[in-house]
Amino acid sequence: MLASVMAPLWACILVAAGILATDTHHPRDSALYHLSKQLLQKYHKEVRPVYNWTKATTVYLDLFVRAILDVVWNDEFLSWNSSMFDEIREISLPLSAIWAPDIIINEFVEIERSPDLPYVYVNSSGTIENYKPIQVVSACSLETYAFPFDVQNCSLTFKSILHTVEDIDLAFLRSPEDIQHDKKAFLNDSEWELLSVSSTYSILQSSAGGFAQIQFNVVMRRHPLVYVVSLLIPSIFLMLVDLGSFYLPPNCRARIVFKTSVLVGYTIFRVNMSNQVPRSVGSTPLIGHFFTICMAFLVLSLAKSIVLVKFLHDEQRGGQEQPFLCLRGDTDADRPRVEPRAQRAVVTESSLCGEHLAQPGTLKEVWSQLQSISNYLQTQDQTDQQEAEWLVLLSRFDRLLFQSYLFMLGIYTITLCSLWALWGGV
C-alpha cells in the first residue's frame, strides 16, 4: 500500500519539476543557447581547427587500465569570452558537430567496443575533453614459458592514421611517472594483477613523413593459485603414481597393465591441460616440456616391460619344444612350463621309464637315452642362464629409468618452486 502511494507522489513531483523547468526562464539557459548557436553557426568540422595551418594541433592522451581514455585537444574555433555569456566557462557540444582527431590503436584486432557518448566538454579557451571508455581487444605476444607464474607485457600504441606530426602532435596529459604507478582504476580480478603502465613518446618516420605516437606498456602478472591446485599438484601426483610402478617386478605382466592405465591417465590429463594453458606460437609452457619428458620415460619403461615379457614367453615355448620323445610321451607340447627342479625330477622318472621299456642287454639304447637327457639338461641350464642375464640387464635399465625419472621429478618440483618465488618477488 505504501508503494502505491509513493509512486503517484514521485510522479507528481517529476511532472511539477518538468513544468517548472519548462515555464521558468533562466538567463543562463539563454546564454547557453546563444553560445552554442554562435560557436557552431559557421563551424566546419571538416577543417582542422587552427587559424594558422602551419601550427600543429596537440592531442593530449591519458590512460587508465580498465577505466577511461582521456583525449584532450585545443580547438581554436571554439573559444569565447566567458564574460559575454553569463560567465559560462564550459559547455557540452555534440561530438558529431565538431572536428575530432583520427587517433587509433595500432594493436586493435577487433572492432572497438565502447558506449556511445555523443557529447564532449569544451571550455572557453577552446580545450576539448573527450572522456572515452573503450574495451580493447588487442594483439599481444604472450610469454607462456613460466606459466602459470608468468608476467605479461602488452603494448597499446596511439597514433594518427592520416596526419603527420606537423599537423597533429601527441603529448601526455599527465606525467609518465603518474601514469606508471596509477592503479586506482584497475579492477584486480581473480586472474590478473596490474603491476605498472610505462609510456614513451616517439616519432615514426615513413615515406609520407613523421607520425607522432605514444606507446603504453601494460605490465600484468597472473594469479597462479587456481592453476597450482588444478594443474600442478595433480601432475605431481600422477608422476608419483608412475614412479610407484617401478617397484613391481620387471617380468610381471601386471606391470604392463598398470603402466598402460597410467598412460591413459597421462593422455586425459594432457587434454585437460591443453584447454587451460594459453596458446602461444612463440613459446611453450615449461610444465608442458616436463610432462612430455615424463611421458617419454613412461613409454620407455612400458616398451621395456613388453620386450621382456615377450622374450621370456618365447624362451618358455622354445624350452618346451625340445624333441625328446621319451620325456614328452603323449603330453601336449604347449603345456605350462614347470620349475627346473621339477623338470629334473620328471626327467629322472622318465629315464627310469625308458630303462624299463628298453630291452635287457641293449646298452646302446640306454646310452642314447642318457645322452638325450644330458643334452636337454644342458640346454635348459643355458636357457635359464640366458634368462637370468636378460633379467639382470633389464633390471639395470629399469633402475636407470627410475633414477632418471626421480631426478626429473625433483627438477620439476624445484623449478616450479623457484618460478613461484620469482613471481612473488616481482
- The pLDDT tens digits of the residues spanning 222-237 come to 888 888 888 888 888 8
Query: What residues contact residue 401 under an 8 Å CB cut-off, 6+ apart?
Result: 246, 297, 300, 301, 304
pLDDT at residue 284 is higher than 60: yes
7-10 LR contacts (CB < 8 Å, sep 24+): none
Predicted confidence band of residue 345 (pLDDT cuts 50, 70, 90) = very low
Are 32-222 and 226-316+405-425 the same fold in CATH? no
pLDDT at residue 181 is higher than 50: yes
pLDDT at residue 18 is higher than 60: no
Q: Where are the domains of the chain?
A: 32-222, 226-316+405-425
The answer to whether residues 278 and 145 touch, using CB atoms and an 8 Å cutoff, is no
Return the higher-pLDDT residue of 195 and 362. Answer: 195
Give the torsion through C-alpha atoms of 410, 411, 415, 417, to 10 deg: 10
Q: What does CATH list as the number for 32-222?
A: 2.70.170.10
State the pLDDT at residue 22.
Answer: 36
**Does the global pTM surpass 0.85?**
no
The answer to whether residues 238 and 266 touch, using CB atoms and an 8 Å cutoff, is yes
What's the whole-number average pLDDT of the chain?
75
State the pLDDT at residue 128.
Answer: 92
Q: How far apart are CA 359 and CA 345, in angstroms?
A: 23
State the pLDDT at residue 11.
Answer: 29
CATH superfamily placement of domain 226-316+405-425: Neurotransmitter-gated ion-channel transmembrane domain (1.20.58.390)
Q: 1 by DSSP, 3-state: which?
A: coil
